[in-house]
Structure 1
């Protein structure tokens, strides 16, 4: 069980790495106009899937990869839906062979690189001083990590707490209820877009995130607030908004990943009752998972959650 929880925390780190670097990359690229169409009128993060070939009750839930514990309380309807299913499917296949080895390889810089050597020495000094004087922790545990993962960790510290995720809770429930755990992607597939960005450019983005750290705090809180409102189309627009994410290649990558998932989701839906849990930014919009499933002939029924994620309040510091 501990191994699965550690893997869930890796999913959290990678999820942030895939979602947030766009705020620091691609500042001068042309941006597409946002899609303001409402595809999912009900405000909820949980959707029941039915249709041809669906083997019993199946659900799609939109997660956020890092939340304060009070904001990640599991609604009763979500827990009840999970009990109806027989397998849990996350973005990442955490039961893949040699997962831990692949995980370490994915996170770490290839030898002999380190944060000291990726770019200019002054960039490393910026990172080291930030960890020492702002986060009050040593840089040593991060020095061999790819800068994009260090950046995702920096973003997670914007929350006034030690963050948790729905993925961790769901993995625990799957273990307790003896459910199979599957994934829609491999580590290599998830890493493809990140590894296309050179390490010096990742380091540049990390330094920029540190230099503008205080300006990102309201942005992170705004994202949490949009998530709490449970409007998946609004959350999708927030994630792909050109004002926040000028690098539209990342938007295209999000759409492509969604498209790649659908054939696998169809097979899994036909195999046994399934609970899918993926980042909520994948659900909304014209190219979102919910709309793509509708185009395949499935019906998506909103399951209203009586206890939405709690409103922000005083939370113990990290």
Structure 2
């Protein structure tokens, strides 16, 4: 009986400890201080594509970037070989083709939609992993020429002659989409095309949460999205978060670093902030 009580108390404390590490403050920008390290690094949550009217680089972000010596994105977007690597890694394995993943009717409808609404033909994507098609599809969801926080950070890095590095390689990132069944990726694309008004509504709500800097709200909405993880949370979020921690620690130890990753990676008990706190790092919100 005593053992059962002790076990219950231990599990309760572990659950409480895990929740205590998750961020409660509303902020996209965080200062990270390592034990015994004088100069802090910074962590920023991005939204990968956003309309210019909703885009903003705050003074506090620019000051944080200026205090660092390198910028770490999910992948090194300053790599001159990035496009060549993308071309090598974007195709499906085993000679798969888009036509094999759709019925003839579905494929014709998809091709017509991309031609009429996206402005591109499917021929160039015939062998590409279906998830690659999500990029151009977002132009239809956003109804604007989107702006990128990542590319703006690359520009800031160039101005102050800071190095740009990646927390993972493009090969690692693209390999994720070989582990998610291609037919599941196809379903996500068809679902978004069939539910564009709902997708626009959801993305608008996501942007509002982003502007409020509500990292936990962003995390929760990403987890519940009908157009997002589809049961692949471990692969898309949690495994990557865990993999990034030692790489963040190494980069911080070398020089003050400004880390920028998708905002959905920050919130929750398995998010980057909670994982860093569990490693003994002080992570403080900056507004």
Within the alignment, does 1:54 sit opposite 2:37 as a pair?
Answer: yes
Residues 1:88 and 1:136: Cα distance change in structure 2 (over 3 Å): closer
Structure 2 gaps of 5+ residues are 1-17
Instruction: Give 1:206 shift.
Output: 2.0
- Structure 2 counterpart of 1:180: 163
Q: Distance in 1 between matches of 2:93 and 2:71?
A: 33
Larger Rg over CA atoms: 2
Whole-Å separation in 1 of the counterparts to 2:126 and 2:186: 12
Is 2:114 the partner of 1:131?
yes
Residue 47 of structure 1 deviates from its aligned partner by 0.5
Inter-partner Cα distance in structure 2 for 1:102 and 1:143: 18
Q: Structure 2 vs 1, CA of residues 53 and 268 (structure 1 numbering), >3 Å: closer, same or farther? A: farther
TM-fit CA distance, 1:147: 1.6
1:213-228 alignment to 2 at 5 Å?
Answer: 213-228=196-211
- On the 8 A contact 1:258/1:282 being kept in 2, the answer is yes
Query: Does the CA contact (< 8 Å) of 1:49 and 1:57 recur in 2?
Result: yes
- Residue in structure 2 matching 1:91, options 74, 80, 94: 74
C-alpha distance 227-37 of structure 1, shift in aligned 2 (>3 A):
farther
Contact map agreement 2:21 2:274 (CA 8 A) in 1 = no
Q: Any idea what SS the aligned residue of 2:268 has?
A: coil
Q: Is the 8 A contact 1:53 1:270 kept in 2?
A: no
Aligned alpha-carbon RMSD (Å): 2.6
1:164 to 147, 161, 167: 147
Q: Is the 8 A contact 1:236 1:282 kept in 2?
A: yes
Partner of 1:72: 55
Counterpart residue number, 1:291:
274
Task: Return the offset for 1:160.
Answer: 2.5
More helix by share: 2
TM norm structure 1: 0.76
Deviations 1:174-220 (A, max 9, x none): 11211111111112221232111333443333223212222211011
8 Å contact kept, 2:71–2:257: yes
**Do the aligned partners of 2:176 and 2:235 also contact (CA within 8 Å) in 1?**
no
Structure 1: state its 5+ residue gaps. Answer: 1-34, 305-318
Count of residue correspondences: 270
Shift of 1:104: 1.0
